[in-house]
Amino acid sequence: MAAPIKVVVTGAAGQIAYSLLYQIASGAVFGPEQPVYLHLLDIAPMMGVLEGVVMELADCALPLLVGVLPTASPEDAFRDVAAAFLVGAMPRKEGMERKDLLSANVRIFKEQGQAIDKVARKDIKVLVVGNPANTNALICSKYAPSIPKENFTAMTRLDQNRAQSQLAAKLGVPVKDVKNVIIWGNHSSTQFPDASNAVVTIGGAEKPVPAAVNDDEFLRNTFVSTVQKRGAAVIAARKMSSALSAAKAASDHMRDWFLGTGDRWVSMGVVSDGSYGTPKDIVFSFPVTTANGKWKIVEGLTISDFARKMLDATGKELAEEKQDALDVCKD
Ligand code: NAD
Ligand code: LMR
């Protein structure tokens, strides 16, 4: 059995955390041989609720869970942690865009970046889930200059999982038989879910998804807008934002980053190096592969004129969000 690692979940008394904590503590993220010590951060008024979550974790009697620290102190929460799930932030309500949350949420990520910089392990892996996730991740990284910027990522895995599921349904195949669908850009309604390089296994043979679907109109319109608007559709139905699927996606993201993807592509918001003509120094979702705890952008993909327009639109939105966030953080 490996030595335990410390893992922090923020927003630990909230609804995503309620599904996520079990997945982390049961071994679904860091593997069945990796004990974890959970640090649970929430705000002071939520400490009573958090106490109930701590009781429930104890009552799960999970062999890999070696300890739990509930706290309202960012410095206690981030001390010596190897992995951080930054979930704690306000969710949007019906009729809002995720970027409408920026002024309310971005300061949380400034403060947490500063705490990470001070007390976390220098090889910490940070996944930002709280919206607007890409820009919050950028701000968190900016306020943690002693940690490599590659260690800050934003979650677009839920969009990837949604896209994969939509394609599997269209093709009438199990979801595991669809791979390499890409989410480009922002976790917002400008994101570009791109099936042009996706592959499906049908009757034991791999086939490009565009050929198997054979419906360009569907792939450019219905598919793209269904995935772009799926979060809003869940809010309209549940009157609360996605939680079960968001927790599953957060687990998928961190597991793949820690344990590796092989040659399978996954989408992650990462600090852009300008790949594929995107603006540098924004957190942009790219297709990546991971190995030995590091991600690498998939290179050499052809970008069609249609894709170019979509990448430019989502990149422009992220550049604007970045400016707005920097203005808020000046105060
Ligand atoms: P929630 O309201 O149920 O829980 C949020 C929790 O965060 C609350 O317990 C709150 O007290 C806590 N919190 C607030 N400020 C905090 C701070 N400074 N430090 C620590 N904790 C703090 O919300 P939820 O449904 O769990 O969603 C959380 C966030 O995740 C929202 O911003 C939501 O929009 C976002 N989200 C992102 C994705 C994605 O795909 N990236 C998917 C779903 C939800
Ligand atoms: C989602 O995609 O479900 C989340 O980002 C919540 C939201 O506001 O849509």
Q: What is the pLDDT of residue 1?
A: 82
Q: pLDDT digits over 243-258, tens only?
A: 999 999 999 999 999 9
Atom of ligand 1 nearest to the CA of 241: 25
Give yes or no for residue 331 having a pLDDT over 80.
no
Whether 39 is catalytic is no
* CATH T-level assignment (fold) for domain 157-321: L-2-Hydroxyisocaproate Dehydrogenase; Chain A, domain 2 (3.90.110)
Q: Which ligand has the minimum distance to the alpha carbon of residue 130? A: 1
Q: Say whether 157-321 and 5-154 share the same fold.
A: no
Q: What is the pLDDT of residue 299?
A: 98
Reported ipTM: 0.99
Give residue 108 CA to ligand 1 midpoint distance, Å: 11
Domain extents in the chain? 5-154, 157-321
Mean pLDDT confidence for 124-150: 98
Q: What is the pLDDT of residue 210?
A: 98
Q: How far apart (Å, rounded) are the C-alpha atoms in residues 152 and 270?
A: 7
Q: Which of 79, 99, 187, 253 is catalytic?
A: 187
User: Is the minimum distance from the CB of 98 to ligand 2 under 6 angstroms?
Assistant: yes
Choose one of 8, 43, 101 to mutate for the ligand 1 pocket test, by most ligand atoms within 8 angstroms of C-beta: 43
Is 5-154 CATH 3.40.50.720?
Answer: yes
Q: pLDDT digits over 224-239, tens only?
A: 999 999 999 999 999 9
Q: What is the pLDDT of residue 93?
A: 87
User: Is the minimum distance from the CB of 224 to ligand 1 under 6 angstroms?
Assistant: no
Mean pLDDT confidence for 129-157: 98
User: Is the minimum distance from the CB of 186 to ligand 2 under 6 angstroms?
Assistant: no
Give residue 1 CA to ligand 2 midpoint distance, Å: 37
- Element at 5 (helix H, strand E): strand 5-10
Q: What is the pLDDT of residue 99?
A: 83
Q: pLDDT digits over 34-65, tens only?
A: 999 999 999 999 999 999 999 999 999 999 99
